[in-house]
Structure 1
Amino acid sequence: MPDPTPFPLDQLAERGSAQAPALVLRDRVLSFDELRKRVALLAGWLAGQAPKGARVASWAAKGELTCLLPLAAARAGLVHVPINPLLKRAQVAHILTDSGAVLLMGTKARLATLEAADVPAGCKPIDEAEVFALTEDTGASLAPSDHDPEDLAAILYTSGSTGKPKGVMLSHANMWLGAVSVAHYLGMTSDDVTLAVLPLSFDYGQNQLLSTWYAGGAVVPLDYLFPRDVAKACARHGVTTLAAVPPLWVQLTELDWPAEAVASMRRLTNSGGALTADLVRDLRSIFPETRIFPMYGLTEAFRSTYLEPELVETHPTSMGRAIPLAEILVVADDGSLAEPGEEGELVHCGPLVAQGYWQDAERTRERFKPAPDVSEYGGTAVWSGDRVTRDADGLLYFVGRRDAMIKSAGNRISPQEVESAALGTGLVAEAVALGVSDERLGHAIHLVARPASDATDHEAALPKALQKELPNFMQPHVIHWRDALPLNPNGKIDRTALAAEIGA
């Protein structure tokens, strides 16, 4: 079991050997000594921009700023709000307003898409290209902090089953111990090289950085245009660790991989959806000696389970067992612990449980509740809403979800967010978004819509309108037009009947 003692998050910069590579950028490589100096400088500038506890947001591609901000903001006593660079102005405006961010650091082109009303009063946008010049001018530098590990360090916005994205509050301890746990069960060491292809706005994406730096290894951030860019980067940098989601794995298995990329790869990790038996077989055919780690998690508790690589071929559909520092219980509908083979709700207990949803007491009470009496950790637990079973050997298996979330290409998507965007175009009178099983995506997004009475050319106009309002991963793959939507006995749209009709 790894050391369960949490520390201030910024101290992750202190772990690697001084001259060892820490961050491999396009134009240079930062050693751990240089990483420490850059984090200290950035933290010093940030501390002069806002009081302790203030929220500072970033909306940019992967680079030095976005990689250093999780540590630098934490050192300055601020709360980092990373925004997915794929989001459009409406989602960004919501996050800025909801979080109360006082600073938005972003790429010039992205900032230019925002309208005046999108940026709340008191929030200062700044081009990321100017940030480090300002830090050099200021010259302030902060030493490693002694913040309380329970202090808030980040707010990660994730889609809920209803409404707009909600902010999950993560403490220094949550993120530090998440790094400790993952580095431990993956067996990461100081000579590891991680290719960071996942968005840094995701908990899984953040942990690419944090677990690698905890182990003293190097991170290579990559925003790829084509899957072949990933394979080329693995060969170029001698990558040992690659994390991805199932749709990307499908694309990667269709490539001819360079021999040097296969030779250096020690581990592949997956989350954001289950690996299929066929996908495991395809990965194994390319990487015969590489260890494969299927994982399950939720932002509210970071990571919950992993399947040991030795069991992947024999138990390909299993979620595995609890990761270190997590306690996973299966609770039956009557509140008792479920028996082997009995379906129940997955409940996550322990120090990885987040602090709740930012400024949303109602939804916090729904998901963050007292742990069952049998819990060894006690305290607050995350009641996931996921239905699972546990077999006689303790392996967990996913059954389904209670809510209507769509999980497409590794993204958790709120049906209501897609529906609201469709209604907001004025072309639609009623809309229902549903997820339909898809071999490549996990779920394809289907939108069932009734056109507005005064809408003209709605079939061609709606996709164009949604392209302006929703990021690419939220775009409906199929739109079904209906003259009327079915109603249930309560007079509400019958989502169950529609799901059956379109095969969801």
Structure 2
Amino acid sequence: MQTSPDQFQPALDPAPRPLDHLAELAGTGGYGARPALVLRDAVFNHDELRQRIDNLAGWLAREIGTAGARVASWAAKGELTCLMPLAAARAGLVHVPINPLLKRAQAAHILADSGSVMLIATKSRIASLDDGDIPSDCGVIEENDALSAAQTAGLTLGPSNYDPNDLTAILYTSGSTGRPKGVMLSHANLWLGAVSVAHYLKMARDDVTLAVLPLSFDYGQNQLLSTWYAGGSVVPLDFLFPRDVAKACARHSVTTLAAVPPLWVQLTEMEWPAEAVSAMRRMTNSGGALTPDLVRDLRGIFPKSDLYPMYGLTEAFRSTFLNPALVDSHPTSMGQAIPFAEILVINDAGDVAGPDEEGELVHCGPLVAQGYWQDPERTAQRFKLAPAQSQYGGTAVWSGDRVRRDTDGLLYFVGRRDAMIKSAGNRISPQEIEEAAIATDLVAEAVAFGLPDERLGHAVHLVVRGSDDAQEQAKLPKMLKQELPNFMQPHAIHWKKAMPLNPNGKIDRTALYREFAGEQSA
């Protein structure tokens, strides 16, 4: 859908600025009085949003006082989680958002690993933490108390002049092995990501974005940043049922909706009122590929809306998008590079792959993150010198994903090189699930993997060796529910008397996968 001539559209400005300058755009674009943030109990226009960001930043700077210190937030969508990315940036701090779906073990790891000196969280989440979960030098304050203190103090800092290459956020994401790792993002990474997305989505100052994705993810956080860069309005929503999304779209005349494939499946299985469809200009998808059937269903519900399939990874924010005009003819394509991204397909010989030749997707350019926080080993595995053929050079992200580029220049996903489980749009570390299972003392060995699932993308399966006692076995899923978030819970637990071993004496994960994949297809 094309925007009318009087609707402001953001220019593609390649010059990065400190991230908190996004809040200042309201004063230069003439839309300060337009709604910027629509909460359940309050609406802030752009001028008010800018003031509240400044007050929170001033309070954080006074309370913490050390530039570059990490401050964590752990709360549902609301004023705090929406303001923190810009307020922490203005205060010269590094924001560490914790996914509200995570539980105490994961939150404790993130607090310790990041070295956070302050945790701002809801009362219930603070109460869920055990002794020793909070580092001794980490202060804790409830969400409402922090917001109240910031407004009472009334401190202001004004726009910062930080180097755009300074670190401003650490987003924790699961790897194929080990605990969640923190991806280091600079002001420039997030600023240019907002500029890029706002530009290629053709966002306008009268756009309304329904933010249904977690703000602890780069895809979710960009809902805020790209919309505000364009001068639009954000409506954060934590929903229980798909119909809540449709109701919110109707209530707020939503024009932009971002989701992952499992949510799109649920949304296409319900009736949409006309008032929820009429204002929709664009829908964006990432976290997994759309299927031709899903594209057809979305087209049937939203015939006048643009559909943007996208591919990305936290280590480089976003890599590709497919022009909506090509979705019907190329529904499984990842598209082409987004602005500020250079995407190369490198074959096993180290050369740029030819048309339709499989290779590894390598992302070059200013959207590439700064590596993994305090993890030089894993940083070296993923962040390497760009191929000699790169126009940008410098450091590139070698994704581990196998892709091919057709003769028209469109990219297609082939497969994943690592063992990552991608379920319902979440990247899940098998080792994290395995460690939780072994920690129960009910099992001696555990292997987790994902099997194809029509609704989830992949469903988590857990194979364990342990007791033959049925009562003991029944305890395992209950204990895992206490320790792991819902999206990590195994779809099925398989008990074995012995694990298959490979010639090196290690558990043969490939054999286990084939065994249960075969049972599923039988």
TM-score, normalised with respect to structure 2:
0.95
Contact persistence 1:18–1:31 (CA under 8 A): yes
Equivalent residue for 1:224, pick from 239, 244, 255: 239
Q: Which residue of 2 aligns with 1:308?
A: 323
C-alpha distance after superposition, 1:333-371 (max 9, x if no partner): 111101111110000000000000000001001100000
- In structure 2, distance between residues paired with 1:19 and 1:387: 47
Secondary structure at the aligned position of 2:334 is classed as strand
Deviations 1:35-65 (A, max 9, x none): 0110010000000122110000000000011
Q: Which residue of 1 aligns with 2:97?
A: 82
1:248 aligns with 2:263: yes
Q: Considering only aligned residues, what root-mean-square deviation do their CA atoms show, in Å?
A: 1.0
1:452, distance to aligned residue in structure 2 (A): 4.5
Describe the superposition over 1:113-170 as per-residue Cα deviations: whole angstroms up to 9, x where unpaired.
0012100111111110101221133221110111100000100000001000000000
Deviation sequence 1:421-478 (CA, Å, 0-9, x none): 000000111111010000100000000111158x762321000000011000000001
Match of 2:484 in 1: 470
Letter in 1 for 2:15: T
Per the alignment, residue 52 of structure 2 pairs with 38
For residues 137 and 452 of structure 1, the distance between their equivalents in structure 2, rounded to whole angstroms, comes to 58
Distance in 1 (alpha carbons) for counterparts of 2:283 and 2:386: 32
1:357-416 per-residue CA deviation (whole Å, 9 max, x = no partner) reads: 000001001100000011010000000000001111111111111110000000000000
For residues 72-99 of structure 1, the C-alpha deviation after alignment (integer angstroms, 9 at most, x for no partner) is 0000000000000000100000000000
2:504 aligned with 1:490: yes
1:320 counterpart = 2:335: yes
2:401 counterpart residue number: 386
- The answer (yes or no) to whether the contact 1:357–1:363 under 8 Å persists in 2 is yes
Structure 1, unmatched stretches of 5+, are none
Mapping of residues 445-484 of structure 1, within 5 Å: 445-452=460-467, 457-484=471-498
Match of 1:23 among 17, 32, 37: 37
Match of 2:432 among 417, 425, 440: 417
Which residue, 329, 332, 336 being the options, matches 2:347? 332
- Aligned positions, number: 503
Q: Structure 1, residues 256-288: CA drift from partner, whole Å, max 9, x if none?
A: 111011100000000000000110011011000
Provide the residue aligned with 1:361 in structure 2: 376
3-state secondary structure, aligned to 1:117? coil
Offset, 1:15: 1.4
Matching residue of 1:426: 441
The answer to whether the aligner puts 1:136 opposite 2:117 as a matched pair is no
Q: In structure 2, what is the Cα distance between the partners aligned to 1:390 and 1:306?
A: 14
Partner of 2:7: none
Q: Is residue 271 from structure 1 mapped to residue 286 from structure 2 by the alignment?
A: yes
Q: Match of 1:503, SS?
A: helix
Structure 2 SS opposite 1:199: coil
2:216 equivalent to 1:201: yes
Can you list the C-alpha shifts for 1:299-353, whole angstroms capped at 9, x where unaligned?
0000000011111111111111000110000001111101111110000000000
* Distance in 1 between residues matched to 2:323 and 2:472, nearest whole Å: 50
Runs in 1 of length 4+ with deviation above 4 angstroms? none
8 Å contact from structure 1 (residues 426, 452) kept in 2: no
Q: Is the 8 A contact 2:173 2:183 kept in 1?
A: yes
The whole-number CA distance in structure 2 between the counterparts of 1:330 and 1:4 is: 24
Partner of residue 100 from structure 1, selected from 94, 115, 118: 115
Letter in 2 for 1:209: L
> What is the one-letter code of the residue matched to 2:414?
V
- TM-superposed CA distance for 1:2, in Å, is 1.4
**Is the CA contact 2:52–2:151 (under 8 Å) kept in the aligned structure 1?**
no
SS state of the match for residue 351, structure 1? coil
What code does the residue aligned with 1:131 have? A
Q: CA separation in 1, counterparts of 2:358 and 2:154? A: 58
Task: Indicate the residue corresponding to 2:166 in structure 1.
Answer: 151
Code of the residue aligned with 1:43 in structure 2: it is: A
Q: Which blocks of at least 5 consecutive residues in structure 2 are unaligned?
A: 1-10
Say whether the 8 Å CA contact 1:451–1:458 is kept in structure 2: no
CA distance in 1, matches of 2:47, 2:312: 33
Identify which of 1, 7, 19 aligns with 1:9: 19
SS of the residue corresponding to residue 194 of structure 1 reads: strand
Distance 1:41 1:189 in 2: 27
* 2:312 match: secondary structure: strand
Does the CA-based 8 Å contact 1:43-1:72 persist in structure 2?
yes
